[in-house]
Amino acid sequence: MISAPRSVAIDVVRILGIVAVVACHVWTAPDWSRRALFTWNVPLFFFLSGYLWTRWRPLRVEAHKRLLTLAVPYLAWLAILLPVWLVQQIVIGDLELEDIWRPIAGGNFVGRPFSILWFVSALLFVALFYRVLQGLPLKAHWVIAVTLLLAAGVAPKAFSLLPLGIGTGLAGLVFVVAGTTFAHYRQSIRAEFVIAVSALSGAVALISTGVSAPLDLKRADVGTPLLSAAVAIAISAALIVLAERIVRLFGDLSGRVIVFLSSGGLFVVFAHPVVLWALSTPPNGTAFDFLLALVIPWVVGSGIRFTRLSPLLIGAPQAQRQKMIAD
pLDDT string in tens for the chain (327-residue length)? 344 567 999 999 999 999 999 999 999 989 999 999 999 999 999 999 999 999 889 999 999 999 999 999 999 999 999 999 999 999 988 888 778 888 888 877 888 999 999 999 999 999 999 999 999 999 999 999 999 999 999 999 999 989 999 999 999 999 999 999 999 999 888 899 999 999 999 999 999 999 999 999 988 999 999 999 999 999 999 999 999 999 988 888 899 999 999 999 999 999 999 999 999 999 999 999 999 999 999 999 999 999 999 999 999 999 987 555 444
Tell me, yes or no, whether 319 lies in a domain: yes
Tell me, yes or no, whether 210 lies in a domain: yes
Distance CA 47, CA 174 (A): 8
Which pLDDT does position 1 carry in this prediction?
36
Alpha-helix residue ranges (DSSP H) falling in 92-215: 101-105, 117-132, 138-154, 156-160, 166-171, 173-185, 192-208
Domain total of the chain: 1
Domain that holds residue 153: 8-326
For 310, how many CA atoms within 13 A lie in the half-sphere containing its CB?
A: 17
Which pLDDT does position 322 carry in this prediction?
58
Tell me, yes or no, whether 1 lies in a domain: no
Tell me, yes or no, whether 2 lies in a domain: no
Which pLDDT does position 109 carry in this prediction?
80
DSSP letter for each residue of 41-72: HTHHHHHHHHHT--TT--HHHHHHHHIIIIIH
Tell me, yes or no, whether 119 lies in a domain: yes
User: CA 113 from chain center: how many Å?
Assistant: 17
Which pLDDT does position 80 carry in this prediction?
97
Tell me, yes or no, whether 195 lies in a domain: yes
Cβ partners under 8 Å of residue 165, min gap 6: 106, 107, 108, 117, 118, 119, 120, 121, 122, 125, 218
